[in-house]
Structure 1
Amino acid sequence: MQETYPFQLKPLNYSYNALEPYIDEETVRIHHDKHLKTYVDNLNKALQPYPEYHNLSLTQLVKNYMQLPTKLQTAVRNNAGGVYNHNLYFDIMNKPSNSTPQGLLEIAINNTFGSFDEMKNHIKAAALGQFGSGYAWLVVDSYGNLKVIPTPNQDTPLPQNTCPILIIDVWEHAYYLKYQNRRAEYIDNWWNVVNWNKVLENYMACKTQMW
């Protein structure tokens, strides 16, 4: 998978209908093949005239977009952010299961929030409180602690020196075909398709790298 320019559409790790009945096949297909692909294409288009930045990774672009030329910053912020956010969102989902956080992640959640259910309440509040389009995140901060934060549009927590491990997309295109304006119902059902093994993997990676 190409990690620098030209960026490529990252394939799903599951079939389009794998998240049924909680996220419908049509939504996954349009969300991945249309919305995400547009961000990939627009990011490549924006970077094409700037070969001096072609060796930067997606993470580097997202985290350091303010260091780019002024006329490139908005395009990278929106489109690199769109690629990064969607890649993480699709990566941490899988077919429905009753799984819950395990191992060191479970311990960290209980220590930080008191319980798994209370963590979900914090993330739901952040997701519902995000006016318009955006995301709610579970991140590891620079002290190694878990934290819930929202971001608008295609912004990411990376410039805040945090390491994301879980993300829920609350742009309307992520849920509107099935849930219409019922964002809260979508959020509640979304937990059924979270791949906690992947979230644990993200958590362990964050804990062992420098941020």
Structure 2
Amino acid sequence: MLLDRRAMLILTGAAATATVMSGRAFAAAPFEQPRLPYDEDALAPTISARTVRLHYGKHHKGYFEKLNQLVDNTPYAALSLEEVIRKAKNDGDQAIFNNAGQAWNHNFYWQQFKAGPAGPQGALLQAIERDFGGLDGLKDKMVAESEKVFGTGWVWLVRDGEKLAILSLQDAGNPIGERKTPVVGIDVWEHAYYLDYENRRSDHVRATLSDRVNWQFASEQFSA
């Protein structure tokens, strides 16, 4: 799945006015939840249509609604979503950071998937082999990190300089706030997996990495 300008606008929840930063397009408020790039049942059985309907239609939507309420008539309203995340983290504005982070996280989350298995190639594959000993090693590490998240959060594969690293972050934890480049992001809040896997979080993480991540998309993020 190649990201053209339209897809990048979708990724960031773009509204009318866009600017270009770090190779991606961003837009200022009001922030709009992008449409799913596939049907609700496209990720089944790994992620069921019921889970997508709840996760995208209730939780993801709610972050956008709350964010727009919080930034209305504030300086944040003139910023891109990425800028809001960075400013809110720097300023300690936790409520805005939480909702902006979760809005962006979920934009990335849905965009990174596709219905069907595919493996990493090219520079990303070489980096995975160098830093994790191969794709299986990467999966094992991400699963292990997901088990360390107490309660709610995310597990991210990120580019940190020229190397790959894995971050387990609480709640709305976001690589942008950590000045890292996101490559793959797995949501480990219970609403992401509980309907399908109950309390088997690690099974959800491994299955998602094995047959739902669009590694071409991940490669593009790594090379950006």
Is TM > 0.5 for Structure 1 vs Structure 2?
yes
The question of whether the paired residues in 2 share the 8 Å contact of 1:6 and 1:54 is answered with yes
Structure 2 residue 130 is the aligned partner of structure 1 residue 119: no
Structure 2 residue 69 is the aligned partner of structure 1 residue 45: yes
Deviations 1:19-56 (A, max 9, x none): 01111001001101110010000000000031x22221
**Which consecutive segments of 4 or more residues in structure 1 shift more than 4 A?**
none
Please name the residue that 2:184 is paired with. Answer: 166
Q: What's the TM-score, normalizing by structure 2?
A: 0.85
Aligned residues: CA RMSD: 1.2
Mapping for residues 37-76 of structure 1, pairs under 5 Å:
37-50=61-74, 52-68=75-91, 73-76=93-96
Please name the residue that 1:36 is paired with. Answer: 60
The question of whether the paired residues in 2 share the 8 Å contact of 1:102 and 1:200 is answered with yes
Q: What residue identity is the alignment partner of 2:185? A: I
Query: Share of identical aligned residues, percent?
Result: 36
Mapping for residues 67-146 of structure 1, pairs under 5 Å:
67-68=90-91, 73-97=93-117, 99-141=118-160, 143-146=161-164
Please name the residue that 2:167 is paired with. Answer: 149
* Distance of 1:203 and 1:66 partners within structure 2: 24
For residue 177 of structure 2, give the secondary structure of its aligned residue in structure 1. Answer: helix
The question of whether the paired residues in 1 share the 8 Å contact of 2:89 and 2:177 is answered with no
The question of whether the paired residues in 2 share the 8 Å contact of 1:20 and 1:96 is answered with no
Q: What residue identity is the alignment partner of 1:179? A: Y
Query: Number of residue pairs matched?
Result: 199
The question of whether the paired residues in 2 share the 8 Å contact of 1:77 and 1:155 is answered with no
Q: What's the TM-score, normalizing by structure 1?
A: 0.91
* Distance of 1:67 and 1:54 partners within structure 2: 17
